[in-house]
């Protein structure tokens, strides 16, 4: 099991991303950041680069559908044992389903 911690400076908190291999762990962390930024955009924030202040070009998708895809991918991954799958889902729920998480409602519905 590999873990990558994502630090959100505006929340001043670490969020773990876990998987059975290092590449998948980084991909999951990247996906989490993408979903988090999409949530900010949905709420009206503008995300831009610090150096040149140019807005980032992020696709506008429904946050629920993105999360559903990622959770389903974990649930349906046959390369992960059922025990590991449940462990990953419980870590996600503990990490992002709490009261401080900006996506808690969506996570709790999907898991």
92 contacts 104 by C-beta, under 8 angstroms: no
Angle at which helices 22-42 and 63-76 cross, to 10°: 160
Q: Give me the domain span that covers residue 10.
A: 2-110
**pLDDT per residue as tens digits for the range 32-90:** 888 888 788 777 777 776 667 676 665 566 667 777 888 888 889 888 888 988 888 88
DSSP string, 30-52: HHHHHHHHHHHHHTT---B-TTT
- Whole-angstrom distance, CA of residue 71 vs CA of residue 74: 5
Strand ranges in the chain using DSSP code E only, listed in sequence order? 2-8, 13-19
Phi, psi of 79 (to 5 degrees): -80, -10
pLDDT at 21: 87
Please count the structural domains in the chain: 1
Q: Quote the pTM value.
A: 0.47
């Amino acid at each position: 099991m590999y873990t990558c911690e994502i630090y959100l400076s505006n929340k001043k908190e670490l969020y773990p991303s876990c998987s059975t291999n290092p590449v998948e762990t980084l991909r999951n962390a990247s996906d989490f950041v993408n979903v988090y930024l999409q949530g900010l955009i949905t709420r009206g924030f503008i995300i831009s680069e610090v150096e040149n202040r140019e807005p980032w070009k992020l696709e506008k998708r429904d946050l629920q559908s993105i999360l559903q895809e990622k959770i389903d991918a974990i649930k349906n991954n046959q390369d992960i044992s059922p025990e590991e799958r449940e462990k990953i889902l419980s870590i996600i729920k503990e990490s992002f389903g709490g009261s401080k998480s900006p996506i808690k409602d969506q996570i709790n519905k999907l898991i």
